[in-house]
Amino acid sequence: CHLIHYLRLSHHLIVLNYLICTFDKLKSVSSEDINITDAVFDGVEVRVFEPPAKRDERLKRSVVYIHGGGWALASARTSLYNNLCRIMAESLNAVVVSVEYRLVPEVCFPEQFHDALRATKHFLQPDVLAKYSVDPSRIAISGDSAGGNLAAAVCQQLSKDEHLTIRPKLQALIYPVLQAFDFNTPSYQQNMNMPVLPRYVMINYWIDYFNGNYDLAHSLLINNHTALDVGQALSFRGRLNWTSLLPSSFKKNYKPVIQTTGKAEIIQEIPALLDVRAVPLLAENETLQLQPKTYILTCENDVLRDDGVMYAKRLENAGVEVTLDHFDDCFHGCMIFTIWPTDFSAGVQTRNSYIKWLDENL
C-alpha cells in the first residue's frame, strides 16, 4: 500500500480497504437466531441485527454501534464487526444498529460525524423505534477506536439538542481515540512502536481524517501545533492536562512535551484539530455534565489508553457515573479479534466484559 501511495496509482487507503474486504467475504447474511437486514437511515446505510420476537415480550433494548478503522477502514459488513454485533444482539436480546458511515478518502471530517449523527437521530425517532420494537428509555450508543470517537462526539451533540425527546441512556466507548492535542501522553510515549497502532500510524489517520498534508506529521508528533505560543490552543490546555488527569500508575516517569515555540499555521491550516466534534476530550465541562452513564474500555498496550482514561476522569469530575474497564495485558483493536484465525483470548475477555456491563446497565 505504501508503494501504491508513492506511485500515486490510487489512494493507499482505498487499496487497503479493498484487500480487507476481499479477504473477508461473508458466507451468509443472517444467522439462525438473528435476522440481519440492511437499511438506510436518513441517507446513511446501516445494518440492523434483530433477535426473534418472543411471545408476550416487552420492548427490546438497543445499541447503536459505530465501527472503528481510523475513519478509513473496515465496514459494518465485515465478518469481524458482523460477528460482534450478532453476538451483542444475541447476548443482550437487543436490536443492534451498526452504522455504515462513509470513509476516508471518499469523504473527510466532518462527514463521518454527520453520517453517524444523522443515522442515530433517525433511529431515535419514536416511529422508527416502534417499527423495531425498541424501548425508547433503553438505548446505548457505542463504538470502538475511531467509532468510539464518533460515538462520543455524537453523544455530546445529542445531549445539546433541545429538540430531541429521546436520548441515549448509556454510552460505551472501546479504546476510543479522543484527542489530537497531545501526541506525547504517557501511553503515546510508552507504546509509540506498539504493533497494530504505532504512534505514527495514528497521526497519519488524523491527517487523513482532516484531509491534511503528511508533511505536517513530524510537527504534530512533537506537539508543535499546540506549543505555548499557539494562541488558539491556549483555552484548551487545561482540559487535557494529563499530569492531573492520569493516575500515577499511568504517568510513571514520563514527562510532558510542551514546546515553547511551535507552528500556529498548523491550526490555521487544520482548524479541526481543535474542533470538539473531532476531539471530544476537549469539550467544555458544561457539555460533559450532560453526558449519560458511561463505560470506557482501555488497554495498556495502546497509544490511546490515556485518551480514554482522561475522558473518564473529566466525565467523573463533571458528575457523570463512569466505569473505567482497564486491561493490563490487552492491545488496541483486540475486541474484534474473536474469529479464527485471529481468535485471541484478549478479544474474548474484553468483549465479555463489555457485554456484561451493557447487560447490567442497559
**pLDDT digits (tens), the chain, 362 positions:** 454 444 444 455 454 445 445 555 544 444 568 999 999 999 999 999 999 987 777 899 999 999 999 999 999 999 889 999 999 999 999 999 999 999 999 999 999 999 999 999 999 999 999 999 999 999 999 999 999 999 999 999 999 999 999 999 999 999 999 999 999 999 999 999 998 899 999 999 999 999 999 999 999 999 999 999 999 999 999 999 999 999 999 999 999 999 999 999 999 999 999 999 999 999 999 999 999 999 999 999 999 999 999 999 999 999 999 999 999 999 998 998 777 666 778 889 999 999 999 999 99
> Positive or negative CA dihedral for 78, 80, 84, 87?
positive
Position 343 scores a pLDDT of 73
Position 96 scores a pLDDT of 98
Which residue ranges make up each domain of the chain? 26-180+272-360
Position 56 scores a pLDDT of 72
Length reported for the chain = 362
Task: Assign 3-class secondary structure to 325-342.
Answer: EEEEEEECCHHHCEECCE
Position 60 scores a pLDDT of 96
- Indicate which residues carry an active-site annotation: 145, 302, 332
Calpha distance 98→67 (Å, rounded):
7
> Positive or negative CA dihedral for 275, 281, 284, 290?
positive
Position 31 scores a pLDDT of 58
* Intra-chain end-to-end CA distance of the chain, in Å: 42
Helices 79-92, 345-361: axis angle to 10 degrees equals: 40
Paired sense of beta strands 293-301 and 322-331, if any:
parallel
- Top CATH class, 26-180+272-360: alpha beta
